[in-house]
């Protein structure tokens, strides 16, 4: 691996396995993993707590300025800090997911978080995942991967995760939510989710985690050496 700073950008829809794969890839490469979705989730939590009306773009633009979002690494794992509070354990609920998908369409929310992401990538090598990393945040990333899977497969993975945790789950509802969120992420005006022209497409629908890991390692090896 070269001594120069390099970035691996991984984009794709919800539930494609980005964070699992990005985490293991970053460990293999010995670089940090930055989960940008967690930043949008922390912002969504802030807006929910402040009772901001999601339809009120001006209120979101104004309120988001008061949210100071940073990240910290504890034992190599990213923690998201919202106005001094570690909110990492509070941002994985369905309510926060839905709010994050809505508030992330706001240009002021995006501007603020993209600045932070950009600054992180200037400082050190990393694997960063999200929706617009290869297209907007790190257009010069040495490696770009677009990770996807069918909505049915993504819904089934999420369903099995919830069942394993002993929670109630409705497979059809989960798939409907995924389809709705994909639509919102892919059709929004600013930085919609799409494959960068120079990104490598990896469809994980029929792949095991080990197979996806091996595939990504070979892509990184080829591009960065």
Identify the CA nearest to 1 among candidates 142, 196, 201: 142
How near is the Cβ of 63 to ligand DC at its closest, in Å? 17
How near is the Cβ of 65 to ligand DC at its closest, in Å? 18
How near is the Cβ of 38 to ligand DC at its closest, in Å? 6
Nearer to ligand DC, 6 or 134 (CB): 134
How near is the Cβ of 122 to ligand DC at its closest, in Å? 17
- Measured between alpha carbons, how far is 39 from 46 in angstroms, rounded to an integer? 11
Interface characters, 108-147, with ligand DC (x: CB under 6 A): ----------------------xxx---------------
CA 104 to chain centre: 11
Exactly one of 14, 21, 60, 64 binds ligand DC (CB under 6 A); that residue is 14
Nearer to ligand DC, 31 or 37 (CB): 37
DSSP state letters, 80-144: EEETTEE-GGGS-SHHHHHHHHHHTT-HHHHHHHHHHHHHHHHHS-EEEEESSIIIII-TT-SEE
User: Is residue 78 a contact residue for ligand DC (CB under 6 A)?
Assistant: no
The span of 36-44, 52-60, 78-86, 160-168 binding ligand DC (CB under 6 A) equals 36-44
Q: Is 223 helix (H, G, I), strand (E, B) or coil?
A: helix
Is 67 within 8 Å of 59 (Cβ atoms)? no
User: Is residue 12 a contact residue for ligand DC (CB under 6 A)?
Assistant: no
User: Is residue 40 a contact residue for ligand DC (CB under 6 A)?
Assistant: yes
Exactly one of 37, 135, 159, 219 binds ligand DC (CB under 6 A); that residue is 37
Q: Is the dihedral of CA 142, 68, 89, 99 positive or negative?
A: negative
DSSP state letters, 194-207: ---TTPEEEE-TT-
- Measured between alpha carbons, how far is 113 from 57 in angstroms, rounded to an integer? 17
User: Is residue 177 a contact residue for ligand DC (CB under 6 A)?
Assistant: no
How near is the Cβ of 201 to ligand DC at its closest, in Å? 18
Contacts to ligand DC by CB under 6 A? 14, 36-37, 40-41, 100-101, 104, 130-132, 181, 185
């Amino acid at each position: 691996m070269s001594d120069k700073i390099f970035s691996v950008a991984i984009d794709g829809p919800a539930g494609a396995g980005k964070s699992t794969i990005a985490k293991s890839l970053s460990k293999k490469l010995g670089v940090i993993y930055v989960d940008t979705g967690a930043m949008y989730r922390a912002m969504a939590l802030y807006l929910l707590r402040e009772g901001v009306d999601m339809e009120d773009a001006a209120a979101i633009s104004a309120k988001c300025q008061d949210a100071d979002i940073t990240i910290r690494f504890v034992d190599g794992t990213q923690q998201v800090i919202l106005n001094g509070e570690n909110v990492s354990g509070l941002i994985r609920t369905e309510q926060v997911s839905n709010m994050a998908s809505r508030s992330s369409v706001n240009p002021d929310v995006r501007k603020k978080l993209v600045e932070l992401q950009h600054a992180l990538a200037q400082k050190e090598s990393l694997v960063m995942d999200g929706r617009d990393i290869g297209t907007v945040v790190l257009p010069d990333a040495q490696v770009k991967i677009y990770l996807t899977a069918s909505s049915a497969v993504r819904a089934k993975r999420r369903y099995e995760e919830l069942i394993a945790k002993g929670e109630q789950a409705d497979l059809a509802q989960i798939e409907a939510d995924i389809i709705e969120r994909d639509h919102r992420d892919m059709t929004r005006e600013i930085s919609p989710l799409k494959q960068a022209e120079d990104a490598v497409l990896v469809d994980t629908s029929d792949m095991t985690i080990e197979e996806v890991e091996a595939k990504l390692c070979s892509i990184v090896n080829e591009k960065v050496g």
